[in-house]
Amino acid sequence: APTIQRADYRPLSWTVETVDLHFALDPEATVVTNRMLCVRNPDADAGPIRLWGEDLKRLSLTVDGQAPAALRESGALIEIDAGGDRVVVEVRTRIDPKANTTLSGLYLSNGGFFTQCEAEGFRRITCFPDRPDVMARFTVTLEADRANCPVLLSNGNLIGQGELPDGRHYARWEDPFPKPCYLFALVAADLVALERTVQTMSGREVLLQVWVEEGNLDRCGHAMDSLVHSMRWDEETFGLELDLDRFMIVAVADFNMGAMENKGLNIFNTKFVLAKPDTATDIDYEHVESVVAHEYFHNWTGNRVTCRDWFQLTLKEGLTVFRDQQFSADMLARAAGAEGAASARAVKRIDDVRVLRAAQFPEDAGPMAHPIRPDSYQEINNFYTATVYEKGAEVIRMLHTLLGQEGFRNGMDLYFSYHDGEAVTCDDFVEVMSEANNGFDLDQFMRWYSQAGTPRVKASGEWNAAVGSYTLTLAQYTPATPGQHAKLPLVIPVAVGLIGPDGRDCALRLDGEAQDGATTRVLKLTADEQRFRFVGLAAEPVPSLLRGFSAPVVLELDEDDARLAFRMAHDADPFNRWDAAQRYAERVVLAMAADAAAPVPDAFVAAFRALLGDGALDPAFRAQALALPGEAYLLERMAPAEPLALRAALVRLMRTLGERLAADWLALFDAMQVPGEYRYHPADAGRRALANLALRYLAAAGDGEGLARAQTRFEAASNMTERFGALAALVQSTHPAREAALEAFHARYRDDALVLDKWFALQAGAWRWDDAAAPVLDRVRALLSDPAFSLSNPNKVYALLGTYFRANPGEFHAADGSGHAFWAEQVIALNGRNPQVAARMARALESWRRFTPALQASIRAQLERVLASEGLSPDVAEVVGKALD
């Protein structure tokens, strides 16, 4: 596929002012009539009208009612010569939603019609200048069979509806706000809605709806509450109000990603809408809340102000992820009350950083590495990445840190006052942030948008006892990434604290500055190397660096075990306290992976036990601190990566911690029981998480009492968090009851697609604790033919294959290469149905060059096999091609 370059952006010669769409919906032959008022763009060179169309049967095309004078086609692009400044182009196309297995464009799910247009799905519905910088006003008429599709929805306001002959009906919708076509949506299906009316901050009444299949009506309450909370938060935090009279969320079971922010008509994967205590875990509740918030926040950051071109994707995604992270942190802090707020925020920060380290750091170190604003792509759908989203959010967070809460808010206000209704660039955003803050210099900061790779910050300290000063030297470098060899220094905010020998933070004073009593301050590292001299210290301090993870970097700091244990016990910054535990665990487990005879150090067990038993710590925090670092992150820290050795070390470490602390875990489990009826509340969720973690360690150790508790909890649980936690512990053991428990779980939820996804994932992600047990691949293969499994449903693919490929490296990378061959087989099978899903699965092997030579050889052969396969989509071709480059 050709490579698209950011530098090649040119405005279109013609844009669209209004669109009138008519859909005669039919499962196999939908006819779309599209009337566009095309207008010449005064800011562009003269040229033809350009439209894109893909997989369409074109029935007719006219310009002002006439056949066009000249029409040229190449691939998806259609060029039409037109005179004058305003012309009406009318295109009629026929499409086959039933045959559309890509889930991009218009498709069927359980008999209903749904759309997904971002990034370039609208061209699969009709011919259109399918680019985000074309913002038009849409009017949409839907016509469908009333019995099958009683509900007809599109963006904006309902302006008409009625009956038609032959059992058909219609509805007409008008969206008052100009929008790019990627935000168009329609739904025609048999659904019911949970409704609520609320007042916005200016006193307008708005109707909120959550649309689902009838049987799911009892699972919508949490999504609705989350929507109301999001609306309030955006009003209070940014002064941003809902701009429509109605806001709809629709849940659909077949969906490529999480959800989509279509104007006024958000379409969601069922996974991020439906929740009730018997089927959803605490983590599911959390996800529903944050995804609802994310999509809602897009209404301003994405829809009112959108992206000029797809290279600017992080403009809306990084900013919106940052907003949803702040929202969730505020919600957790509010629930925790004043005392617990700081810890609650840290728990959220830890979650976000875990994701960044597990998904974004490896991406930034692999063949797909790209800046948050990429310079080129082959297939834009491959760039909805952890880098654009999560690292993009980190970049916004650093701006927030540098400018302060108020400065950031002023920048946001100016952003909307300048750019509301426009399609803009990342430069535009950073420019208003600077302008709103007295010209704050952000020129060097812009390098975060153009440089790929995870920067390293190397820190060292020097204590001068004679004068009581501590000099901290910070140096930065960023490793080379594909196509980017030389890197320039970045602006890196490093939040620093100094801990005294008594475990308490010292007051910080930099040489030449007055004492202000602060115990954490943000140093700005801008050069390759800088020194910061702290004075007025009574004794040698222990540095606590990058507090709260103030920048998305790898911190390189020599700390011995004793120092890590000290910070694990005393660091006043809860994020860094957690991080100290992670670093210590990482060191221990990597040493065990390098040497199968290396013991688990007693000092580590003792430090771990101290955290475990510290009742002053919030349970949610303890659950984070006692969970070992993620396997994906650990593999990233190993050179060469040896997944089997790592797995063996993790098994041994889990067992040892389970055995040696068995009494502590049992007591902790008992102490963490949550009485009464289930409610989703962060305090309860923290207790349940910690209890579930205790069971995991006990099960890993094969502890009889622990396993008995797991079994009882599995049978008696009143909610999914406890039931699934207990099941997971049983499955992660050699207990003979594990198979029966899996069967009982299946029997109970045989008709519940979302719960079955958990059941598939649990088996695909299982570890082997017993050397004689069969490889997990045998189970995964068998589950492929389970009646509930389907390669056409992305959730099923992610649960079974995604978990096996991405979350079970110790099995997937079996030395005989069976996992790799299976991967190639499945990627090829998916490629023909759904290229976006196939490409996601394909990415599981992109970091192959980091593995041992034997694994590399095995993987290379399979990458080559996929690359050589027939009919490879541009999506998969880009991933595999870059991996082999």
Residue indicated by tokens 């076509």: 181
User: Binders of ligand B3K among 86-125, rule CB under 6 A?
Assistant: 118-119
Q: Quick check: 250 and 265 in contact, CB under 8 A?
A: yes
Shortest Å distance, C-beta 797 to Zn ion: 21
Give the one entry of Zn ion, ligand B3K, none that residue 573 binds, where binding means its C-beta sits below a cut-off of 5 to 8 angstroms depending on kind.
Answer: none
Catalytic residue among 286, 295, 394, 642: 295
Give 296 or 678: the residue with its C-beta nearer to ligand B3K.
296
Shortest Å distance, C-beta 139 to Zn ion: 26
Q: Dihedral sign, CA of 879, 880, 883, 885?
A: negative
Which among 753, 752, 765 has a CA at the least distance from the CA of 800? Answer: 765
User: Which position among 309, 317, 351, 757 is part of the footprint of ligand B3K (CB under 6 A)?
Assistant: 317
Distance CA 521, CA 570 (A): 18
Distance CA 577, CA 573 (A): 6
Give the one entry of ligand B3K, Zn ion, none that residue 381 binds, where binding means its C-beta sits below a cut-off of 5 to 8 angstroms depending on kind.
Answer: ligand B3K
- Using the rule CB under 6 A, is 363 a contact of ligand B3K? no
User: Which position among 114, 128, 384, 804 is part of the footprint of ligand B3K (CB under 6 A)?
Assistant: 384
**DSSP type of residue 813:** T
Shortest Å distance, C-beta 738 to ligand B3K: 37
- Using the rule CB under 6 A, is 636 a contact of ligand B3K? no
- Using the rule CB under 6 A, is 878 a contact of ligand B3K? no
Shortest Å distance, C-beta 366 to ligand B3K: 20
Phi-psi region of 464 (alpha: psi -120 to 50; beta: other; left: phi over 0): beta
Helix (H) or strand (E) holding 354: helix 313-355
Shortest Å distance, C-beta 761 to Zn ion: 24
Give the DSSP letter string of 556-595.
EE---HHHHHHHHHH-SSHHHHHHHHHHHHHHHHHHHHH-
Q: Quick check: 491 and 481 in contact, CB under 8 A?
A: no
Shortest Å distance, C-beta 273 to Zn ion: 16
Number of residues that bind ligand B3K (CB under 6 A): 12
- Using the rule CB under 6 A, is 508 a contact of ligand B3K? no
Q: Quick check: 97 and 27 in contact, CB under 8 A?
A: yes
Q: Quick check: 109 and 188 in contact, CB under 8 A?
A: no
Partner residues linked to 109 by β-bridges: 112
Give 209 or 381: the residue with its C-beta nearer to ligand B3K.
381
The encoded tokens of residue 287 equal: 């996800």
- Using the rule CB under 6 A, is 624 a contact of ligand B3K? no
- Spatial strand order of the sheet with 205-212 comes to 192-199, 205-212, 246-252, 265-269, 259-260
User: Which position among 15, 381, 451, 656 is part of the footprint of ligand B3K (CB under 6 A)?
Assistant: 381
Q: Are strands 469-477 and 456-464 parallel, antiparallel or unpaired?
A: antiparallel
Residue indicated by tokens 């209890």: 691
Give 298 or 696: the residue with its C-beta nearer to ligand B3K.
298
Give the one entry of Zn ion, ligand B3K, none that residue 257 binds, where binding means its C-beta sits below a cut-off of 5 to 8 angstroms depending on kind.
Answer: ligand B3K
Helix (H) or strand (E) holding 459: strand 456-464
User: Binders of ligand B3K among 286-305, rule CB under 6 A?
Assistant: 294-295, 298
Instruction: Let me know if 143 is a catalytic residue.
Output: no
Shortest Å distance, C-beta 120 to ligand B3K: 9
Give 261 or 352: the residue with its C-beta nearer to ligand B3K.
261
Give 541 or 835: the residue with its C-beta nearer to ligand B3K.
835
Give 317 or 364: the residue with its C-beta nearer to Zn ion.
317
Question: Site residues (CB under 5 A) for Zn ion?
Answer: 317, 320
List the x/- string, 237-266, binding to ligand B3K by CB under 6 A: --------------------x-xxx-----
Phi, then psi, of 418 in degrees rounded to 5: -85, -40
List the x/- string, 201-240, binding to ligand B3K by CB under 6 A: ----------------------------------------
Where b means 16+ CB within 10 Å and e means fewer, 653-676 reads: bbbbbbbbbbebbbebbeebebee
Shortest Å distance, C-beta 294 to Zn ion: 6
Give 290 or 320: the residue with its C-beta nearer to Zn ion.
320
Give 187 or 568: the residue with its C-beta nearer to ligand B3K.
187
Q: Quick check: 499 and 544 in contact, CB under 8 A?
A: yes
Q: Hey, which residues are catalytic here?
A: 295
Residues at the site binding ligand B3K, with contacts judged by CB under 6 A: 118-119, 257, 259-261, 294-295, 298, 317, 381, 384
